[in-house]
Structure 1
Amino acid sequence: MKLKIAVLYGGKSPEHEVSIITAVQAMASMPPEYETIPIYVSKTGEFYTGDHLKNIALYKNLPSGDSDVSIGKMLRRREAENQDKIFTRKLLSVLHLRSSELPRVDIIFPCFHGGVGEGGWIQGLAEFYGVPLVGTGLTGAALGMDKVAMKAVFDGANIQQAPYIWFYRHDWYAKQATFVKEIETHLKYPIFVKPSRGGSSIGTTCAKTKTELIRAIDLAVAMDTRIVVEEGIVSAREINISIMGNAGHDLECSVCEEVFHEGSEFLDFKDKYLTGEGSKGTASTFRTIPAKIDKSISNKIQTIGKLIFNLFDCSGLVRLDFLVKGDAVYCIEINTIPGCLSFYIWEKCGYPYPKLLDHLIHLALSKHEEVKKLQTDFASPILTNIASGGKLGSKLSTLPE
């Protein structure tokens, strides 16, 4: 019997359309021994399914809301029809399959980019209900989605990164002049402003003047409550690498890639998705694979990449983005669900896309079996002692008689 792979994508995220590209590409390349079940989540959080969702042309005139329900069959438990539309209840339908209308699934394969789909919610629910999950779990997903938390982990591990400052949106509104002064005191232009939980460079701006800085922060605070401001590393090369495996086990490193862009200070959303080869995603961006860098730099990037993979307790594959200037290597970020799953890098490493997907599924099953062996209970006499009037510890002294 074929394993049924539920591919989840879309969702409430500025990267909604990018997620669709990643998911449709993956489903089209899935080996024949697996059956893929598309689970599309609309921009307002409604769930849809149906094989016709595998056709990228269906999304050409994607509605901003859910008025057009013809895009697919809505997934909703019948007994929850008139209840609040709670996110976890809807996903519970997919995971526990309590409605005869829902397809049975064996493995969850998230292809979300940004939002709650990439940030740990889906991953946490899959782990809670014991469903095998392709990719990084709750811990790594949450840390990888939040640049403030990510950078704190990097700092703790002494991983070199660009100088930065972060702050909350409400503090920006209250003390704008103070923050501008602090930024200009500690950071040099050009300065990059980013929403902490953004992706695909959406909301990211390069500022070269005070006026541009204020404008960039005003844009970022419209998209997130926490903002990261980084000093630009001038004349650096943009080098990426993908790491694959399960944390704590042998890891594979892809070759490095160097990405290029023209007319902008960084690889923005337009460079990634709206230029080149019919705009078919990050695979069409101008890049050199493998990157023409010294072996010593490549080895350093691999070492840092493996360290971060294990620190974040990652699984499946991730992509790490670096800036290289001379002998200095700066880690920019980790992407736990990279655009197009970085298949174009692994193709250069002996992994055609179907083989890569098969390997990711086997990694997920292996991780699931490992987790199942963990002890999750603890034999404790605490409730018996309470019921029999035994002596209570300090934390139980306020229990009612």
Structure 2
Amino acid sequence: MPNDIEIRSFRFDTPEGAIEDLRRRIAAVRWPTRELVNDRSQGVQLETIQEVARYWATDHDWRAFETKLNALPQFMTTIDGVDIHFIHVRSKHENALPLIMTHGWPGSVAELLGVVEPLTDPTRHGGTAEDAFHLVLPSLPGYGFSGEPTELGWENGRIASAWAELMSRLGYTRYVAQGGDVGAAVTDAMGRIGPEGLLGIHVNLLAGAIGIKDMLPASTEEERASHVKLDAFTMDGFGYFLEQSTRPQTIGYALTDSPVALAAWMLDHDTDSYHKISSAFVEGKPVGGLTQDSILDNITLYWMTGTGASAARWYWEFGRFLAQAHASGQPPPPVKVPVGFSVFPGELWAAPRSWVETVYPGVAYFNEVDRGGHFAAWEEPELFTTEMRAAFGPIRNS
């Protein structure tokens, strides 16, 4: 059925044979020779991925993560023909503000688990009852436990509409939305569609900057530094983006057949997070929530659900959407709700306020924090929580 409004309880119990098969495949990996440079300019370094594989095969406890996930209220519902998995944690504070948060790639709902308790139970995490959120964490179509789309067209706008339908089914008539990475693009689309009940959005990546580089200010030192970072991404850190936006099926064969290939592909995202992840494995020095176990919880989730290829297809949809938008010559519709934006210094490109105001004129909340990177909620859950309280505080009583 295109729409089955039933909301079904969900839990995941991994067959023991799947865990044994994973370990066999890791043990059977064929390693390339070492890179010919002393940095990551040729890709994920051999020392790093070998340590990831060693820990994965011998020390990582997938059952512990499975237990943690199954302890949370998880559900499934069918929207527009696709099964959508989501975590739904209601705060004990009945006046809590409903918040739907969208993960990105190479993330999943696993990257958001550290903020569940601080957001829903603020009185135990330095806040007051007035800071509470009811939290909805969906898995993107084709990611994790959500179903894979079997037809084209699941771009940001369609996902945004599905999220609005999800919140309606849950009975939320007033809510806010947040996202980073892919989630930022989806949340942006929600703000431009302006579904009934959406009060405001918050993003921590200026996803729209990619398509309008030449229109972004470059007169101050801060603006020029951001241009350098954006240029570096589009020229040197763009490999995964280009492959997934043009040939997701091709890379998908490796991502669903080899766990080590999957891990390496997911680690090779951006310089800041790569060095933090490498430090966690090679030096035993995790940064914030980016621990060895949490990193492998996320990678194993992709492996156990076989979603390496289907997750990559979002980039193909996004690439086609950008091409069509460029060909039309029409600017995107304006955002219809207040926008909050937080700048984390280790982001792909830490957007200055002038850039944010170019994309979101009249931005309602803007703040630059002193630490954190691309995986902000994962890496710095308490700081991220503080930003959510500040950004959405004025909206609560609107």
Query: How high is the TM-score relative to the length of structure 2?
Result: 0.38
Q: Which has the higher contact order (CA 8 A, sep 6+)?
A: 2
Larger radius of gyration: 1
When normalised by structure 1's length, the TM-score is 0.37
* Structure in which a larger fraction of residues adopt helix: 2
